[in-house]
Every structure is written in C-alpha cells, then in structure tokens.
Amino acid sequence: MGAYKYIREAWKKPKENSLWKERLVQWRKEPVTVRLAKPTRLDRARSLGYKAKQGIIIVRQKVSRKRRMRPAVAGGRRPKAYRHRKVLNMNFQQIAEMRANKKYINCEVLNSYYVAEDGQNMWYEVILVDRTHPATIANEKLNWISLKQGRASRGLTSAGRKNRGLRNKGKGAEKLRPSRNAAYKRKANKK
C-alpha cells in the first residue's frame, strides 16, 4: 500500500487514534477560523484538488451544531403553527465553506472535507484558492476559478450541490434541475 492508502485507512476509524482527544481539546480553545500550514488529512485534501503551491491555502473552520432551529414562539399556538422550522436549509459543511470564504474574501472555495466533531461543534477543512494570485492565473488546471465568484454562497461546491439534491440524475430527479424553485415555477406555469 502507498502512504495515502495508510492515511485513508487510519481515518476510517479516527477515534481509535491516540491524538483524537488531545486534538479536540486544543481545537476547542482555538479561534473559529484557523489557517493551517498543511492539511490534517493529506489524502483527502489531495483527492479534492489541494496542491502545496502558492495561491492555495487550507483553513480549519469550526461550526456550532446548536441553534439550527428557530427559538420557541411565545404565547399559545395551535400545534401546526407552533412547529419549529430549520433556519437554514444547508448542511454544516456548506455553512463552514461560506464562513471560511467570508473570512478570506480574496479567495474562492475549491472544496472541503470533514475533520472532527464533538457534542457541540464540527470541524471542516476548507481548501481556498487565491483568485488573483499570479501562480493561480498561470496554472492551467486552476485558472478557471479566477473567473468564478461566490461559489460557496451560490451552492456550487460539492457540499452545496449535495444539499441541493444535484447528486441525483435521470428518472426521479426531474424536480431538482435547474433548481427546485425553477421546477416549481415550471409546474405552476403549466396550470
């Protein structure tokens, strides 16, 4: 087996690693967004497009697992009106990408991956690319990202596409493309 395969095997059961608890204790004390010198999961980062080159940075983003619901309404309501609704129709990974992008506004999100979680938080590492860096513009495989802006906010990253249901294709996925809203309007116009 190659080195990356050993790393991949180790990350299948991360809690068995002796460093797991120590890492979480340290990460809880750190700020929400931390820029890293190198990725924690090198195999995953490389598979998602990371290269140790100028213009590409790695950021570890902490996302709270709480406050996903609206606060309970004051006063009496019938059960139908009293229900809690999700505030965000996004997964934690997409939220992490958006927050990392907000911190580094000159960069664009290439991709992200899961690193750890505990009872209160989740951590993701986000791969960011500097759009205006000369090395990025000169790189033929990466210069397409210099023309894109706000990929994470528009749900164009892998996590965003998953949340929008765009992993499904063909029969049964007719109401997902080009978007749920467009499919709904198309149905409304047929009547």
Q: How many CB atoms lie within 10 A of CB 142?
A: 22
Torsion of CA 117, 157, 50, 113, to 10 degrees: 10
Residue range of the domain that includes 43: 3-149
Q: Are the C-beta atoms of residues 110 and 145 closer than 8 Å to each other?
A: yes
Q: Are the C-beta atoms of residues 117 and 123 closer than 8 Å to each other?
A: yes
Q: What is the pLDDT, as a whole number, of residue 19?
A: 85
Q: Are the C-beta atoms of residues 109 and 50 closer than 8 Å to each other?
A: no
Q: Answer yes or no: is 177 within a domain.
A: no
Q: Answer yes or no: is 69 within a domain.
A: yes
Q: Are the C-beta atoms of residues 121 and 28 closer than 8 Å to each other?
A: yes
Q: Answer yes or no: is 167 within a domain.
A: no
With CA atoms as reference, report the closest residue to 110 among 90, 88, 133, 87.
133
CATH of the domain at 126: 3.40.1120.10
Q: Answer yes or no: is 165 within a domain.
A: no
Q: Answer yes or no: is 61 within a domain.
A: yes
Q: Answer yes or no: is 190 within a domain.
A: no
Q: Answer yes or no: is 156 within a domain.
A: no
The total number of structural domains that make up the chain: 1
Q: What is the pLDDT, as a whole number, of residue 161?
A: 92
Q: Are the C-beta atoms of residues 126 and 34 closer than 8 Å to each other?
A: no
Task: For the chain, 191 residues long, give each residue's pLDDT as a single digit of tens.
Answer: 788 899 899 888 888 888 889 999 999 999 999 999 999 999 999 999 999 999 999 999 999 987 666 667 777 888 777 766 555 678 899 999 999 999 999 999 999 999 999 989 999 999 999 999 999 999 998 999 988 899 999 999 999 999 888 988 889 888 888 888 888 888 888 87
Answering whether pTM is above 0.95, one says no
Residue with tokens 């949340």: 163
